[in-house]
Chains A and B, each alone.
Chain A
Amino acid sequence: MDIAIFALKRLASAIVVLFAVSVLTFLIFFAIPNGDPALRLAGRTATAQTIATVRHDYGFDRPLWVQYGKVMKQILDGSIQSYTQHVTVFSQIKRGLPATLSLAIGAAIIWLIVGIVLGVIGALRAGKATDVAISTFSFVGISAPSFVLGSILLYLLTYKLRIFPPGGYTPITQNPIQWAEHLVLPWVTLAVLYIGVYAQVLRSTVLDAMTTDAVRTAHAKGLSPTRVMIKHVLRVSLIPIASLWGLDFAAVLGGSTLVVESVFNLNGVGQYAADSVRSLDVPPVLVITLLGACFVVLMNAIVDVLYAVLDPRIRTTTS
């Protein structure tokens, strides 16, 4: 009963969020100077007459809210087309999705595992050289912009040392080894920022957890240090990390892959979005933004459930 009400509330707020996102994205393009889509649709050599015809045919001379309604209807029935290429937006997205998912999922797994390992080592060696090294690495990773880092890696490892192939994407179904080779650098580039964040967050939650009364009790029980660390320190410290991971993964898929895809020329959804922004092509940007927002909203709900699964204090009520 309660859960149904809250699920409904949640759904309602999600719809409000998505509506606001769509309106804002839509308006931004009309606020951009020289953003008239009729110019692009009519082609380079169009006469003023052609432009006017195109403008009328596409309804660009109608009031904004009418245009918005029309675009949204097309998005919902899947028929929306790009203004610059005469293909449906969804077919383009479907084409880029494997590359984007490979990049985001791979990077998310890497940063979770490496972040946890570095965070725990940092906490166990707090104040020692290893800890200082990890912290330094973390802060460099957090502050290095991914296009800089990506470019450096590409230059050094691909063009100088020729270890990895230059940009591009090979589907996993075609050749798994090439798929991985092409993705190693993008994964690392995308993951480094999050590894830094996770290592630092986990280091401090582990350090806090190690001094709690509950952990003192665990030691007093005569448990081995390893068991205390895994069952009593890590198990509790990982709760916030798990929810952070869900939200970050959503954020990455909802937009952060854009730069990395462009640097490594992966032809994913992010790169498609970047190209569309560059050519002021509204429909793809609108659709990708909305999909991203949908995913963020969905992951938020999943994280809430995950939290309850991991922490009995939230799952079960005190009577």
Chain B
Amino acid sequence: MSDIEVFQRAPITDEVLRVEHLKVSFRTERGVVQAVDDVSFRVGRGEVLAIVGESGSGKSVSAMTLMGLTRSPNATISGSARLADGTELVTASDRDLQRVRGSRVAMIFQDPMSALTPVYRVGDQIAEQIRAHEKVSKAAARARAVELLERVGIPRAAERSRAYPHQFSGGMRQRVMIAMALSCSPEILIADEPTTALDVTIQSQILAEIEDLRQETGVAVLLITHDLGVVAEVASRVVVMYAGRVVEECEVHEIFKDPLHPYTWGLLGSVPRIDKVRPDRLPTIQGSPPSLLRPPSGCHFKTRCPHRFAECDREPELRALEPNSVHRDRCHLSLQDKRALRIVDGAIGLPIPVEKELS
């Protein structure tokens, strides 16, 4: 199939990152784990692309690989990830990658409680990053750190910049991480489950902060999350991953209004909603994700899919079902069937199959 052709039809004119055929596998004692299996996506300037998936879907590994954080003797990485000016991240030397990290591509992580080094003042940790990429004096870097802390909503920033990480709450530490990530005006901010470890009221503050900064600085955001609520809140486009592969890619509205992959239906169905009448039982997805040591042949979701048929033993390709559409999915069902099958009891979901457990 031709990814290039599909990309050319897409409306993104100004892209900051293009990932193509990314594959990441790890050698373990029990065999080779194919964590990321031929993943391609693009991030446009100033947009928020959400990668959605559950644990083991490969979403975090993909993001970490862009930063070179999965490099190890046990890892095999192939494919390509290029920035706007053509800088290749996958094959970059460690030294070249070091220059990109923190300055052109920055990252924040899930657990702000442990993400900072405990023995240094937060202002100094931000200044350290600035000085790693720019020739400025220590005093100037510190002054900029204070400005950044102020910008992300830390009160009394000058004073707080001299405090240690443990003297901040989780939400405040995540603000520090955001300030640090944006300190060198990167082109892309990778946010790996940035609010998962935070309370819901703090989550909404942090999401708003990221959104404000995106509008102000034009930084593109690659948001890794498992939470479809967060996706609806901030994303402009969505990539859904399952067992190492992209199974669906579309605009944010389409994922909720016109989802085409059965896994997406199941995911949408199993989220308890406070804005809807509560059902007697939560719709679920049967079984659990396949082992990446020995994934099933053909479609990776077929073991849990109530709509599977003979064709599913052959690997489906990621394709658009309508001409000129940027909405792509990886499933053999016809568009007509999909639109009929996805409604269960008046809402999008997966039916509960007759057999109790699919094997």
Contacts and interface: CB of A to CB of B under 8 A. Distances in A.
Q: Let me know if chains A and B touch directly in the complex, using CB atoms closer than 8 Å.
A: yes
A220 B101 contact: yes
B102 to A, nearest CB: 3
Interface in A219-260: 219-225, 227, 231-232, 235-236, 239
Contacts of A239: 119
Interface stretch (A9-17, A61-69, A189-197, A308-316): A308-316
A222 B130 CA distance: 10
B117 A236 contact: yes
B3 to A, nearest CB: 28
Contact of B132 (A216, A221, A312): A221
Contacts of B116: 214, 217
Contacts of B109: 213, 216-217
B177 interface: yes
A263 interface: no
B273 interface: no
A265 interface: no
Contacts of B129: 221-223
A293 B132 CA distance: 49
B34 interface: no
Contacts, number: 81
Contact of B100 (A213, A222, A311, A318): A222
A223 B99 CA distance: 8
A221 B129 CA distance: 6
A185 to B, nearest CB: 38
A313 B166 contact: yes
A221 B164 contact: no
B21 interface: no
Given A213-B109, A222-B129, A222-B132, A312 B117 contact: no
A107 B119 CA distance: 29
B23 to A, nearest CB: 22
B118 interface: yes
Nearest to A236: B119
B111 interface: yes
B119 A311 contact: yes
A53 interface: no
A12 B103 CA distance: 56
Interface residues of B, number: 30
Contacts of A219: 67-69, 101
B107 A220 contact: yes
Contacts of B164: 312-313, 316
Q: Which of B99, B107, B117, B129 has the most CB of A within 10 A?
A: B117
B94 interface: yes
B115 interface: yes
A220 B69 contact: yes
Contact of A218 (B99, B106, B117, B118): B117
Interface string B117-146: 111100000001100110000000000000
Nearest to A313: B166
A239 B101 CA distance: 29
24 contacts: A216-B69, A217-B116, A217-B117, A220-B67, A220-B107, A221-B102, A221-B180, A222-B98, A222-B100, A222-B132, A222-B133, A223-B129, A231-B120, A236-B118, A312-B118, A312-B119, A312-B166, A313-B118, A313-B166, A316-B164, A316-B166, A316-B167, A318-B166, A318-B167
Interface of A: 212-225, 227, 231-232, 235-236, 239, 310-313, 316, 318-319
Given A213-B109, A214-B118, A222-B133, 16 more contacts: A213-B114, A213-B115, A214-B117, A215-B117, A216-B109, A217-B117, A218-B117, A222-B99, A222-B100, A222-B129, A223-B132, A224-B132, A235-B117, A236-B117, A316-B164, A318-B167
Instruction: Pick the 4 closest A-B CB pairs, nearest first.
Output: A222-B102, A222-B101, A221-B129, A213-B114
